[in-house]
Each structure stands twice: as structure tokens, then as C-alpha cells.
Structure 1
Amino acid sequence: MLSRLPPLASWTSALIAALIGFGGTVALVVQAMQALGAEAGQVGSAVTALCLGIAVAGATLSLWMRMPVVLAWSTPGAALLAASDGAVAWPLAIGAFVAAAALMCLLGLVPALGRLAARIPASVASAMLAGVLLPFCLQLFRTLQTDPLLVVILLLVFVIARQRFPLYALLLVLVSGVAVVLLRGDMVGFAPDTLLGGLKPVTPAFDLKAVASIGVPLFLVTLVSQNLPGLVVLRTAGYEPKPQPLLLGTGLATMLLAPFGAHGVNLAAITAAICTSTDAHPDQRRRWTVGLIYAAFYLALALFSAPLVQFFLTMPKASIAAFTGIALIVPLSGAVENMLIEKSERDAAILTFAATASGVSLLGIGSAFWGLLAGFAALAAKAVFARRN
């Protein structure tokens, strides 16, 4: 019986992956929900719902597909929401979450649409993501004006950790930053009402402008920056996952939990690499158990999410801005690299990037949509003139 239990490495790999996935970007999720006007209880509900989705959907898919299906929340999606800066009210945001999840389910149900989505130019999608992320990284350095000590310490820890322990860089940054905040006595008013997480449903409200502003961009960045790379990680580990059940499963999980604030449950990429390697389990046929252990840790995070969320809600805004900026440096680097790989699409990518980063809002629709529109229009014009020549 004991021989059938996963080795110790499986438990440690899953624990490290869960801590990195949660701790590295939970500050960004909190900031995103606050930007949409969510109250403290609704922010806690959103984090609880996301952790539950990651746990239940991940365990179900791992058990069914017999491979370590490691899920996460949409980090680029959270950045997109945080950039909305109150342009969309909370019930409308919930409706946009449902719409984005429905689009993901549609990809899972209709294989032809999945193949079409795979042909979305990575340059334009990455440029939109880069435009969303850039303001947060710039805000990191603007925070030097209000809290230079914290920012300098976080940058030093990040730069050194990226050289020595790149996988744990964000976790080390979080631990260092929290230590600075606690030592200075900045945590005033931290008194969680309960230790257990809770769910607070909100009836979704649907609006075309909200869907265009955040629903469609949320769907695209989650697909291109999370789900597609997550599939690549599984294939690299020697598995042959069918995209349809994974897209449908994560889409359904998001749709069911969206009324509680879940903006996006999707495949993980970086943390998935930890759980799918031979270091996590030497037997590829039994490695799916690592996915179950990872899901169990997220279930624990869901149960005790209330004090964790309250902790970040109590932190000074400068600290949250610093954590968020640091957490998005590596994704920004990857997005910029991907948007410039294809030389023939660079003009479209730069237009998308500039329009998105500008933060412009026209007709009540946010800049991410207009960035995509500019990029696709540039590619269409290029294709038309190429045919004429």
C-alpha cells in the first residue's frame, strides 16, 4: 500500500508550485477586484472561488485524463482587470467573466473554432498583453517616490533571486516585502473576521461595452498566454492532451464560479512545469497524482483564504503596487519578446501595444479592445495589399 503512495518529491513539488502560483500574484488579483469596485467580502469571495476552481477542476481533469493537469488563475487577465480602473461596475464585470468563459467553452465544444483560435497571430495577442502589463511595471518605479526603501529592497531581491533561484524569485520577493511591511508596523487594522473563506454570489449583468472592454480581451489573453502555453508544457512532458476537454473543463469551472468573482480558471504554465517533470514523479504513468496533491493544496488555500485576502487588503497601496509591478516584469519581458518575433507583423504589434498601453477609452470601451482592433486592422490592410501586388 505504501509503495502506491506518491513519493515525497511529489508532495514538495506540488506545495512549491501552489505557493508560487498563489503567493506570487495574489496581490494582483486583490488589486484587480478592487479596481472593479468589489467590496472586501467580494474580493475574498473571488479568491476563494478561484482556488476552489483550480482545486476541483484540476483534480477532476487529472483523475479523468490520467495526467498532471495543473491549473491557475489568469494572471494576465487579472492585470487586464486591474487596468480597467473602475470603468466597469462589479455586476457588469461578473457578466464579462461569464462571457469570456462561454467563449472558452465554445472553443472546447467546436474543434473548428479551436483550430481557428490557434491561428490568432501571437504577435498581436502578445502586444495587447504587453500594453496591459507595461503601466504596472512603470508604477513600480513611480512608487520609488513614496516608498523608496521597499522598492529598492524588492528590486534587489528580485534581481539576485532571478540569477540564483529564478523559480522562487517571486516567492522570495513576497516574503521580503511582507517582512519589511511588518517590521515597519504598516499593517494597521489587520483583524480578519473569520479564518475560513466564503462565497458571495452576485447576479451577472450583461453589457456589450463591458464584454468588448474586458470580456473578449480577457478570453484572448487567457487563451494565448495561459491555455496554449499550458498545453505545450504537457506535451513537453511527454503527454498528448486533447485541447477540447481541457478548454471546456476550465471554461465550465470559470462560468460556474464567475458569479462568486472568479475571472479565469485556466491551465498553468510555469508552475505546471514543476509538477510535470520527472523530479515530481519518476513514473510518467503515475505522475497524474501530483495534480491531485496540487489540487489538495489549493483546496486548503480556498478554505483559509479569508485571512490571506484580508492581509493584502490591509497592506498600504504602495506595497501592493510594488508587489504587482515586480510580479509582472517577467510576463512583460515574455510578451515583448513574442510580439516582436515575427518581423512581418511588427507594425501591427507596435500599434496594438501603443493603443493598449495608452489606456484610451472610446465609446465606453477600454483600450485593450481598441489595441486589438488596431492590430487586426493593420494585418488586414497588409494582407489586402499583398494580394494586389
Structure 2
Amino acid sequence: MRPSVVISAVVAALVGFGGTLAIVVQAARAAGADAAQTSSWVTGLCLAMAATSAFLSIRHRIPIITAWSTPGAALIAASTVPVGMNAAVGAFLLAGGLILLTSAFRPLGDLIGRIPTAVAAAMLAGVLIRFVLAVFESAGHAPLLVWPLVGLFLVARLVNPSWAVLAVLAAGGALSYALGLTGPMPDGLGFTSVAWIAPSFEPAVLVGLGLPLFIVTMASQNLPGFAVLKAAGYAAPARSILGVTGLASVLTAPLGAHTSNLAAITAALCTGPDAHPDPEKRWMTGPFYGATYLVFAAFGASLVAIFAALPGDLVKTVAGLALLGPLTGALAAALGDEQRRFAAVLTLVVTASGYAAFSIGSAFWGLAAGLLALALDGGARRWRAR
């Protein structure tokens, strides 16, 4: 046991939690969650991270680090269709159930795997780009707050990209207070409570939110997470990981929590030699990572209250800057395949447009448009080859 094991685990949890909590809070607001439901949402996610990371790491003796679906939270927050928490919980249950089915039913996983990477990445980019653009929209509203934070982010990422967003969050809180932009802060850290939210299964929300949430989680979180484990020299037990995270997603959905999945960026902090020089002992980061999330779960309500007191422009800035890296990766994956570039761009613009029809959001229509373009292109190529 080395101190580096504990340090790597705690840093990974801090980066994952602090760097993306703003996105989850935005998602909760978009879904119509009240303060109690928002804190329950965050608490449910933290409990899922604690249980799944500790169990999987101990069970398989490899550093399996889980996270909430940040692209999924962005998808929820970007929805232009009113959802409501009851219908959102129904969509979360569908997404979690599909992850469970993927672990048990191999053909379903193969079907998801057949969605071209370029189109899936373009759908994600279309969701994320609105958040990044919101940073500069906020700069027009609050230039004294936003522009210094953008400058800090650009400098901090040169030193340590993992800590850049946390540096922006800390500096933004202090600057907001100095500018008199913050609301009343909680008196102290109080223990959290959870709320039970009954699901409702509305077909339009299931198709427009639940299905894209599943696809985004699989394509943008689980697949990169498996790649991180593989790059570190570990054979990932895919079915076990999907089964455990899918079950956790189903169990925590009635608390308001959206999907749980493998981590990618934060996992890299726990799977490399900085965590432990012996690859066979890095699994110990999992339980310490889980213990850190238990602390976050205990004080989830107070942490959400702190974010609620921050100005909206700061929350949008932190969220947008946190998603700038994922957007870069999504655009690179979407536009790297020249044969599928047109379909990818079509997917991106339809998704980013916010277009909705039949109460189904733009992420679904963007995916449908891209797949249709690919089918037409493939048919045209086969016809010309005759």
C-alpha cells in the first residue's frame, strides 16, 4: 500500500465530481427537478460510483473506475422538449435496462457496435457544442467574470489539464463573491437525504431521451473506458462491468440519477504507474475512490446548495470549459472518416439545431438523419459499381 494509491483515487474523484457537477445541476434544472430532487439526483450518482467502483475493483483485482455519464447529463440539459422528472426517471430506467440487456444479450451489443463511430461522435458533438457556445454567450452578459476564467483555463490546462476545470471553479467562486454575484450560501455542511421519484413511461420521452442516453453512454463513455483499461494492459471484463453499472443505473434511477458507466479520463489517473508501479496492485485505487464518493454522497445536498448560490453564468462557464475537451475528441472522431464526413456533419447540425418533432428531441433526429444519409450513400455506391 502506497500513499500514491490514496492520492490518485482522491484526485480522480475530485476531478470527476468537481469538474462535471455543474453539468449535472444544469441537467436537473432542465428536467424540472426541485432542490430536493436535485440533491437526491447527485446523491444517487455518488452512491452508484462508490458501490460499483469498489465492488468491481475488488471482484476483478483491476482498477475499474466508474463515473456518471457526463455526455448523458449534457444531453438532458440540452433537451429542448419539456420532460418533467417523472418522465425523465422513466427514460433513465430504459437506458439502464438497455445497458443490462447489452451485458446479457450479445446481439444487442453488436447492434450498438454497428453504429458508425463517426455518426455517434457527431451526435455527441452536436449536444456538447451548445454548452461550449454558452461560455461566450455568458461572456457577453458578465465579461468581468467570464473572460478572466477563460484565460485562467487556457493557462492552467498547459500545466495540468485534469486540474484546469477545478481551478476555474475555485477562482470563479471567489471572483463571483468579490463581484457580489453570489446568492446566500448554506450555513454549513448538512447530511443529505434522498427522494423517491415515481417513473412515468411516455413514449416520446423514452425515444427522444432514453434511447439517445443509452447510445451516448455506450459510445462516449463505456467504449473509451474499455480502451483506457486495455491501454493500461488490463483485460476488461466487459459483461461484468456493463451488468453492474446497468444494475446500478436501474436501482438509482428512482432517486433521480441518470446512467452510471465506466470512467475514461478520471480512470487514467488510477490505471497508470503514478498510482502504483505494480500493475497488480493498482486495483486498490477502486475502494478509496469509492470511499471518497461516499463522502460526497453524505453531503450532496449542501454541495448542490453551494452550486445553486453561484451565478448562472459561472455554472455555464464551468460546464462549457469542462466539455471543451470532450467536444474536441468528438469532432475529431466525427470528421476523421472522409467517406462518412457528410453524414457526420448532417448528424451534428441536426442535433445542434435543437429540432424537435412529435415531442422527440434533436439527438434522436440527428442520429436518424446521419444513418439515413449513410444508407443512401452506400446504396448509391453499390448502384454505381454495377
TM-score, structure 1 normalization: 0.96
Distance (Å, rounded) in 1 between the aligned partners of 2:189 and 2:294:
17
Aligned-residue offset at 1:321: 1.4
Q: What amino acid sits opposite 1:92 in the alignment?
A: A
The answer to whether structure 1 residue 75 and structure 2 residue 48 are counterparts is no
Aligned-residue offset at 1:119: 2.5
**Residue in structure 2 matched with residue 3 of structure 1 by the alignment:** none
What residue ranges of structure 2 are gaps of 5+ in the alignment?
none
**Residue in structure 2 matched with residue 217 of structure 1 by the alignment:** 212
Q: What amino acid sits opposite 2:175 in the alignment?
A: V
Which has the larger displacement, 181-190 or 276-285?
Answer: 181-190
- Secondary structure of the equivalent of 1:87? coil
Query: Does the 8 Å contact 1:36/1:85 carry over to 2?
Result: no
Aligned-residue offset at 1:302: 0.6
Q: What amino acid sits opposite 1:266 in the alignment?
A: N
Aligned-residue offset at 1:191: 2.6
Which has the larger displacement, 314-323 or 223-232?
Answer: 314-323
Query: Does the 8 Å contact 1:150/1:319 carry over to 2?
Result: yes
Aligned residue-pair number: 384
**Residue in structure 1 matched with residue 330 of structure 2 by the alignment:** 335
- Secondary structure of the equivalent of 1:287? helix
1:127-142 superposed matches below 5 A: 127-142=122-137
Aligned-residue offset at 1:208: 1.2
**Residue in structure 1 matched with residue 3 of structure 2 by the alignment:** 8
Query: Does the 8 Å contact 1:105/1:248 carry over to 2?
Result: yes
Q: 1:14 to 1:354 in 2, by over 3 A?
A: same
**Residue in structure 1 matched with residue 223 of structure 2 by the alignment:** 228
**Residue in structure 1 matched with residue 101 of structure 2 by the alignment:** 106
**Residue in structure 1 matched with residue 275 of structure 2 by the alignment:** 280
Deviations 1:313-344 (A, max 9, x none): 12121111111111111111111111011110
Q: What amino acid sits opposite 1:255 in the alignment?
A: V
Aligned-residue offset at 1:381: 1.2
Distance (Å, rounded) in 1 between the aligned partners of 2:84 and 2:299:
27
What residue ranges of structure 1 are gaps of 5+ in the alignment?
1-5
Distance (Å, rounded) in 1 between the aligned partners of 2:34 and 2:188:
15
Aligned-residue offset at 1:194: 6.2
Aligned-residue offset at 1:190: 2.0
Distance (Å, rounded) in 2 between the aligned partners of 1:192 and 1:365:
41
Q: What amino acid sits opposite 1:100 in the alignment?
A: A
The answer to whether structure 1 residue 364 and structure 2 residue 349 are counterparts is no
Which has the larger displacement, 111-120 or 237-246?
Answer: 111-120
TM-align CA RMSD: 1.3
Distance (Å, rounded) in 2 between the aligned partners of 1:330 and 1:102:
29
Percentage of matched positions with identical amino acids? 46
Distance (Å, rounded) in 1 between the aligned partners of 2:45 and 2:379:
43
- Secondary structure of the equivalent of 2:261? strand
Which has the larger displacement, 182-191 or 65-74?
Answer: 182-191
Deviations 1:187-240 (A, max 9, x none): 222236861121101011001100111111111111111000000111111110
Instruction: After the TM superposition, list the runs of 4 or more consecutive aligned residues in structure 1 that deviate by more than 4 angstroms.
Output: none
